[in-house]
Amino acid sequence: MIDILDLIIRETLVAGLPGLTSARIGFQPPDDDWRQRVGASTGVWVNCALVDLREDRTLRQNIRRRITTGSVTVERREPARIRCHYLITAWNAAKDSAQMPATEQEHTVLGAVLAVFLDADPMVASAILTPEQLAKVPATLREAELPVEVVPPEGFGKLAEFWGTVGRATSWRPAVYLIVTMPVPEPDRRIDGVVHTVLTSYDGVTPRAGDGSAEQLADVGGLVLDATAGPAAPPVPVPDADIVLYHPAGRVVARVRSDDDGRFVLVGIPPGEYRARVTAAGLPPPAPQTVRVPGSPDALIELRFT
């Protein structure tokens, strides 16, 4: 994912700074090797050093969605949002002299870099990359808006430490401090169309250990069976059955219908004991059944017509 962000930053700079080629934009540390690389060339170079990564916990969402394609169901979690911190500097291959104002040229380029990123909020891959480049980007990132922060007032807190560790010959120089927030999706988790019990927690703010701020919820899978033929015949799934889950106080907590295989999922149910009522056309309604949430991690709730 970070290499994709590097590419977006590179192409944003190339498009916004006439005369700057992608070959003169680097993402390595601005150390002695970088200085030698610049010194062996001509013109002004731009270095985009990735110096820190932090998750933005204020944007975390503990939400899981189920997506079914054919007979396969996957669970997809909302992506984490990672703040990628870059220090961007300008480097002139020439040295300052009466005939060559090298440092002034560096400042000119650095000012142009600043203007480019101030105008680039948010960055969107589909608006920046070529079709060939975009084809290599995951679909979830192609239209995602990447918020940009440029030279935040608090600055980069470890600037002196940074310049003190990148090489003996590398001196302190001004930098554009850029922060780009990008989503990092988790891989889909295949659940094969059958949900037993999935426990989640949800909170509008960041949960803190021990303060009880997060509410636990459960998704519980079930199966409706027709056993009216008696014990000699195997029960068969009941499609399109109506399942209603009641709180002990009598209010309806959830209402779903069974699929073609008789399966159903009760989503986002707080732990506790409930009563379930099931009805289906042509079958005698059974007595309400006690349902405990969460259910067994490897078994479905069974509601039977008998």
The pLDDT of residue 152 is above 90? yes
> pLDDT tens digit string along 12-65?
999 999 889 999 999 999 999 999 999 999 999 999 999 999 999 888 777 777
Burial string for 248-280 (b: 16+ CB within 10 Å, else e) reads eeeeebbebebbeebbbbbbebeeeebbbbbeb
Number of structural domains found in the chain: 2
Of 45, 31, 39, 49, which Cα lies nearest the Cα of 170?
Answer: 31
Q: H or E stretch including 35?
A: helix 32-39
Of 149, 184, 219, which residue constitutes the final position of a domain? 184
Q: What's the pLDDT at 294?
A: 80
Residues 224 and 175 in one domain: no
How far apart, in whole angstroms, are the C-alpha atoms of residue 298 and residue 275? Answer: 21
Residues 138 and 19 in one domain: yes
The pLDDT of residue 71 is above 60? no
All residues at 6 or more sequence positions from 93 whose CB lies less than 8 Å from its CB, including other chains: 38, 39, 40, 41, 42, 43, 44, 45
Q: What's the pLDDT at 244?
A: 95
Helix H, strand E, coil C: the string for 129-146 is CCHHHHCCCCHHHHCCEE
Residues 220 and 174 in one domain: no
Q: What's the predicted TM-score (pTM) here?
A: 0.62
Residue in the structure block whose two tokens are 């680097």: 26
Residues 170 and 214 in one domain: no
Instruction: Determine the structural domain holding residue 273 and report its residue range.
Output: 194-305
Mode of pairing for the β-strands spanning 176-184 and 148-150: antiparallel
CA distances from 36 to 48, 91, 166 (A): 16, 11, 13
How far apart, in whole angstroms, are the C-alpha atoms of residue 159 and residue 163? Answer: 6
Residues 126 and 272 in one domain: no
Edge to edge, the sheet with strand 272-279 lists 252-257, 242-246, 272-279, 289-293
Decide if 189 is inside a domain.
no
